[in-house]
Structure 1
Amino acid sequence: MNERPDLMAKQLLIYERAVSVSAQRHRDWSVAAGRSYAFARGINAAPLVAAEFLPASLEYAIVFAGEGDAIMPSALLGVRGEENSFVGADGAWGGRYIPAFLRRYPFVFSRSEDGKTFSLCIDEEFEGLNQEGRGERLFDSEGARTQYLSTILDFATQYQTQFTATGRFCAKLRDLELLQPATAQFRLADGQTPSLSGFMTVDRERLRKLPDETLLQLARSDELELIHAHLHSLANITPMAQRLAAAPAAPATAPVEEPAPAEG
């Protein structure tokens, strides 16, 4: 069997019905967050922001996906399209570091059509959302924001700020033409040979050929450190694939196939 799904085909589908949080609609609602990540069982990647690169690189492969202005980094979580190898049967997370994108759930920011304003939303299909007083209330009896909701809003705001900064970093990689398409291929113990495509990695050779002045600028802005964290993280692809097998399995080829740089 050979599967070759594109990366992140359904990552945003962890949100089934995101609605703006308001005192009018959610005054009597509470959130019992719990520690289950079963909602992420069907995604094979999770977005990352630049501030997460160092802790995430210790156990995940960090890659880039998207096009144009929408290119963003992600942590690979599985080698098949709808399979997350870090979520256990009981919903527990099997890794040490949990991406902020998943820790933020069931909350998310939505952007206005003009891109100037954001509103905090909550997935109303989240099983922990209730009107029985379980967990943390969103608003008090007078309709004022609770400390819990204020904390969530601060976290979401910080995440959005980091998301914007990460977008600028990815735009620089694109402008420097450092990103190239890549494919990860595996041979699992059960004989399956899945492969994963739809993502990009930094081209090491193009990085080496950058002018000294450009490399110095990348180093002074800490962006070179982010690039190196990404490149070193690719060694985590094989251990991730082995999580899917009953016994350790060696990859069929090098963990990441990097095509030759385009001419010109």
Structure 2
Amino acid sequence: MSTQLLIYETAVPVSSARHRKCAIEPGKGYGFARKINSVPLTAVEFPLAAAEYAIVFAQNGEDVVPVAILGARAGENLYVKDDDSWSARYVPAFVRRYPFVFSAKDDGKSFTLCVDEAFQGLNYQGRGQPLFDEQGKQTAYVDNVVRFLQEFRSQFMRTQAFCRKLAELELLEPMQAQFTLGGGQKMSLTGFHVIDRKKLKALPAETLSQLAGTDELELIYLHLQSMRNFVSVKDKLVLAQPEAGPGDTAPAAEEREAAAAVAH
């Protein structure tokens, strides 16, 4: 598996030969996501995510992808509590799909279901949801996991098309977030892009109408409204009482197909 799959330690293909007696026990928390400070979002998640996260656009090769900001420093997720619970009502789909993930084959069209064997809830004692039945056939639980991952990928592809349109319209501009902590300590988060309001307003009426007709204009405004959630990031940062000094930081990169780092 790609080393860029940062929340996955030992993801391997799911098979009856290897996992016939394997089960997944839920409720083990989100400790696996403690060291990621941004995660990719799909456009369909914007309405719920915008209420709790700052949504920005990060470079991923030649493309840009929307990401939810989870922290202001590398290796720190401010939304995972000490007890491994998540401190927001909406948990991004990228996180919820764990410990499962698709691995793309060489042709880029075929995918293999994989599971992270380092997941605390994975066991061979029958606790939780079995992956295979006594005949070695995958269970309804696994069928539902596959459907979830298929839908995630489908929504990701649609989101890519939305991001390409933003780039074609030249609406994105670099931005940095400044944080002033207790005692006057300052931090900055750079390397991401946001939509320029002036450029948006300057678009021809016909283009704006097209964006409204495809609901992409709504996505744009949800992104812009989400910028106020940088205040939540600062508040969580203050409560975390970090020991490190001020300085530019870079959110961790995520998987090859979806993730993008917010880097300085």
Normalising by structure 2, we get a TM-score of 0.86
CA distance in 2, matches of 1:223, 1:103: 25
Runs (4+) off by over 4 Å: none
Q: Structure 1 unaligned runs (5+)?
A: 1-9, 249-264
Is 1:170 aligned to 2:160, yes or no? no
**Residue of structure 2 equivalent to 1:236:** 229
**Cα displacement (A) at 1:70:** 3.5
Q: How does 1:103-252 map to 2 (within 5 A)?
A: 103-246=96-239
Tell me: CA distance 1:84–1:11, structure 2 relative to 1, closer, same or farther (3 Å): farther
Give the equivalent residue in structure 2 for 1:253: none
Distance apart, 1:136 and its partner CA: 0.7
Deviations 1:102-141 (A, max 9, x none): 0110011111222111111111111111111111110111
Structure 1 SS opposite 2:88: coil
Q: Offset at 1:67?
A: 3.8
Contact 2:34 2:75 in 1 (8 A): yes
Aligned positions, number: 239
Aligned partner of 1:29 in structure 2 is 22
Q: In 2, are the aligned partners of 1:20 and 1:121 still within 8 Å (CA)?
A: yes
Alignment of 1:83-122 (within 5 A): 83-122=76-115
RMSD (CA atoms): 1.8
Cα displacement string for residues 119-168 of structure 1 (whole angstroms, at most 9, x for unaligned residues) = 11111111111111111110111111101111111111111110111111
SS class of match (1:242): helix
Displacement of 1:69 in angstroms is 4.7
Q: TM-score, normalised by structure 1?
A: 0.86
Report if aligned partners of 1:189, 1:247 keep a CA contact under 8 Å in 2. no
Of structures 1 and 2, the one scoring higher in RCO (CA 8 A, sep 6+) is: 2
Q: Which AA in structure 2 matches 1:87?
A: V
